[in-house]
Structure 1
Amino acid sequence: MKSVSLGTAVLFTLFTLSAHASEPPVKKAGGMLVDGKGMTVYTYDKDSAGKSACSGQCAANWPPVMAGDAKLDAPYTAITRDDGSKQVAYKGKPLYTFVKDKKAGDKTGDKMKDVWHVVTD
């Protein structure tokens, strides 16, 4: 009986810890990557591995997917933006959303100016 209650306590603790864990900043959905709100995630051809070339007005239109203090597992990493904030990268490429995408699943930024691309898995 004692092992059952110990096991129950362990399961309850694990459930409680996982319920309070922060959501990952990106996840796979429908064959593409989306942010925590389900919005489509993009890469920018002018970025180099580990470095964002999108700031100012560009970042206003293409908001970076911010890493915050999230623990990221490969192939995700966090890059440091020029302002010192942390942005999520996928296979070294910084990730963004697009302001003209109004609901989850919108992909209006795909192939924009031939430099913005939906991230597919």
Structure 2
Amino acid sequence: MNRKIPFLCALAPIAALVAGCAGYGSSYGTHAAAPAKTAGGVLAGANGMTLYVFDRDTAGSGKSVCNGPCAANWPPLAAATADAASGDWSVVTRDDGTRQWAYKGRPLYYWAKDTKPGDKTGDGVNGVWHAATP
């Protein structure tokens, strides 16, 4: 009788648990994947909604100048406290202390009047808002 088989069967659930946790590794506490994806040639949030950049933001400044009523119309792409910069992605701290994702140094926003994924109604608003491109 082979006593190794019951022992190996007992280890299987432990191995499955360890394998399931492997994805946490060194990325624990950071955003493991890009906070946006490309859809229709522009950047879109995880919800599929188009992301925008604002010409009045200075790329690389680490700030957003769209605050208060502006941010009500152009909600920022929020970053969690634990999210960290990686590659072209960085995080800026807003005037209210919340954090926002930026792509190539430019803070990213949604447009309140876009109603469904793929809408780009904010592109060109007031000549200063543009759909973000990869």
Q: Residue 35 of structure 2 is aligned with which of 25, 32, 47?
A: 25
Aligned-residue sequence identity (percent) comes to: 46
TM-score relative to the length of structure 2 = 0.74
Deviations 1:38-70 (A, max 9, x none): 110000001112221111111000001111133
Where structure 1 has 5 or more consecutive residues not aligned to the other structure, the ranges are none
Relative distance call for 1:52 and 1:12 in structure 2 (3 A) is closer
| Aligned equivalent of 2:80 | 68
Let me know the Cα RMSD of the aligned residues: 2.8
Q: Residue 120 of structure 2 is aligned with which of 87, 93, 107?
A: 107
CA positional deviation for 1:34: 0.8
CA positional deviation for 1:73: 1.8
CA positional deviation for 1:8: 5.9
| Aligned equivalent of 1:38 | 48
Q: Residue 89 of structure 1 is aligned with which of 91, 94, 102?
A: 102
| Aligned equivalent of 1:14 | 22
Where structure 2 has 5 or more consecutive residues not aligned to the other structure, the ranges are none
Number of positions where the alignment pairs a residue of Structure 1 with one of Structure 2: 118
Deviations 1:12-48 (A, max 9, x none): 4436x59xx9775322223211112111000000111
Q: Aligned letter for 2:64?
A: S
Q: Secondary structure at the match of 1:55?
A: coil
Whichever of the two has the greater Rg, that structure is: 2
CA positional deviation for 1:112: 0.7
Whether contact under 8 Å (2:53, 2:131) holds in the other structure is yes
1:53 to 2:61 alignment: no
Relative distance call for 1:51 and 1:71 in structure 2 (3 A) is closer
Q: Aligned letter for 2:96?
A: D
- In the aligned structure 2, how far is the partner of 1:105 from the partner of 1:86? 25
